[in-house]
């Protein structure tokens, strides 16, 4: 099994789709909607003591803290605190005339345990030159290093030799390798800053018993946390994104009160969890996040707790895998993860051919977060209805959803919707 996990890790940690899922315990993946099963979703407004919140102050004072604690102890692991005396930021260098003068590029380093040089996160910050300052920003972690999101030779090549994606790879050959996923110039033209960092700078994406990356800093903060509920890797990544936001609060050209956190695939899961824990994120975007992200867990469709916890055991705390085969006993489902972001704007997106991520389950999750958003005085998902929309037909209001034609990816179409959404909810 150890060898199998090693093969899985190397094969599947690419940013592309998990196109050939490996099954465990003789489980067969279901892609038939008729076999998705019947289930009853937990009421996001119902408290553990049997009462039901009926006012915003009851949501924030009682139900939300209770629900957040459940997600921490049963799924993602408890979110650690931060030693701000050991947190430091350094501007490494700047290019004021990037993209033919449209943008200023800045490389900033986040030291999580200063003065120690590691662990650290290198940020690429792209700021429009012609926009009024300070500007809103998109913060989105990347899969293979900052140099892969843009072909500009000025951008430093990742020096992370511990990470799966850069090991034994000539960095220069990967320059701009994933630029189609990150339309930086379009984002700049729309008046937004673009900020990214290599996610494995925060915590390398393999199971080593929670020893590497920022996990090395958490031990002192987790002495009173049961082993089975300690911070897993998705929590570590989300924690790192909050530290990136701390850094952006020191950048005068960026309005840190208008930062959208976004992510694709496993990083879509991370964006949702970061947004749930850190209310400073003004807007949250989940792109194809699937199981453990936006998709409902109780549906028997696509990836399941069984497959995800066997393939990627480090993403979740050990408690989560105890729900294999008994998802109806989970005290929550993923619509309540979205509800934890309320009343802030959230965009959930799927792809029509990405059945492994269960697009219908992602829509239903967004749909069933609506009562909390309504309680807090917003339009929620608007008039989206109870069934998924046709492909390439965005629906909703402050909760938004679309199912793009195509495969597991983040595309120009997706970004067009996110920019329009941000224009509506994140510009003055």
Which residues are catalytic, by number?
265, 408
Q: What is the phi/psi pair of residue 260, to 5°?
A: -95, 135
Q: CA-to-CA distance for 374 and 362, rounded, in angstroms?
A: 19
Q: What is the phi/psi pair of residue 164, to 5°?
A: -60, -45
Q: CA-to-CA distance for 53 and 63, rounded, in angstroms?
A: 7
Strands 135-139 and 193-197 come out as parallel
Sheet harboring 193-197: ordered strands across? 88-98, 103-111, 120-128, 193-197, 135-139, 254-264, 283-287, 346-351, 399-404, 395-396
* Residue 373 DSSP SS3: helix
DSSP codes of every residue in 311-334: H-GGGS-GGGGGGTT-GGG-S--H
* Surface-to-core class of residue 82, CB atoms within 10 Å of its CB (0-12 exposed, 13-18 middle, 19+ buried): middle
Report H helices in 72-219. Answer: 184-189, 199-202, 215-218
Helix axes 266-277, 64-71, angle to 10 degrees: 140
> What pairs with residue 89 in β-bridges?
110
Report H helices in 224-369. Answer: 233-248, 266-277, 305-311, 334-339, 359-368
DSSP 52: B
Q: Which residues contact 108 (CB under 8 A, 6 or more apart)?
A: 89, 90, 91, 92, 122, 123, 125, 247, 251
* Surface-to-core class of residue 270, CB atoms within 10 Å of its CB (0-12 exposed, 13-18 middle, 19+ buried): buried
């Amino acid at each position: 099994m150890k060898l199998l996990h090693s093969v899985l890790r190397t094969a599947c940690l690419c940013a592309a789709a998990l196109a050939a899922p490996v099954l465990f315990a003789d489980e067969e993946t279901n892609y038939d909607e008729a076999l998705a099963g019947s289930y009853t979703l937990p009421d996001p407004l119902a408290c553990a003591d049997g009462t039901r919140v009926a006012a915003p102050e009851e949501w924030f004072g009682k139900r939300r803290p209770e629900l957040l604690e459940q997600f921490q102890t049963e799924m993602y692991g408890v979110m650690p605190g931060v030693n701000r005396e050991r947190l430091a930021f350094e501007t490494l260098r700047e290019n004021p005339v990037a993209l033919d003068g449209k943008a200023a590029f800045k490389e900033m380093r986040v030291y999580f345990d200063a003065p120690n040089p590691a662990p650290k996160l290198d940020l690429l910050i792209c700021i429009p030159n012609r926009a009024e300052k300070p500007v809103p920003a998109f913060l989105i972690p990347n899969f293979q290093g900052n140099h892969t999101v843009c072909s500009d030779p000025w951008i430093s090549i990742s020096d992370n030799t511990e990470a799966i994606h850069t090991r034994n790879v000539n960095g220069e050959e990967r320059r701009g390798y994933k630029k189609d996923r990150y339309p930086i110039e379009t984002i700049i033209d729309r008046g937004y800053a673009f900020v990214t960092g290599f996610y494995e700078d925060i915590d390398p994406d393999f199971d080593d018993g929670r020893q590497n990356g920022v996990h090395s800093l958490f031990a002192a903060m987790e002495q009173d946390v049961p082993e089975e509920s300690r911070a897993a890797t998705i929590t570590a990544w989300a924690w790192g994104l909050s530290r990136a936001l701390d850094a952006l609060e020191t950048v005068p050209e960026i309005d840190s009160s208008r930062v959208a956190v976004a992510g694709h695939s496993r990083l879509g899961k991370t964006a949702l969890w970061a947004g749930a824990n850190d209310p400073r994120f003004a807007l949250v975007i989940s792109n194809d996040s699937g199981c453990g992200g936006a998709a409902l867990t109780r549906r028997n469709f696509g990836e399941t707790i069984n497959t995800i916890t066997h393939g990627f055991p480090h993403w979740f705390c050990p408690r989560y895998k105890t729900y294999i085969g008994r998802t109806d006993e989970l005290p929550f489902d993923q619509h309540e993860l979205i509800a934890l972001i309320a009343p802030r704007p959230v965009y959930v997106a799927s792809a029509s051919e990405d059945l492994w991520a269960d697009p219908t389950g992602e829509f239903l999750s967004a749909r069933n977060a609506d009562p909390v958003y309504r309680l807090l005085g917003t339009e929620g998902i608007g008039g989206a209805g109870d069934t998924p929309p046709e492909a390439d037909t965005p629906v909703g209001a402050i909760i938004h959803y679309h199912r793009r034609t195509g495969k597991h990816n983040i595309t120009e179409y997706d970004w067009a919707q996110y920019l329009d959404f941000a224009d509506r909810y994140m510009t003055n």
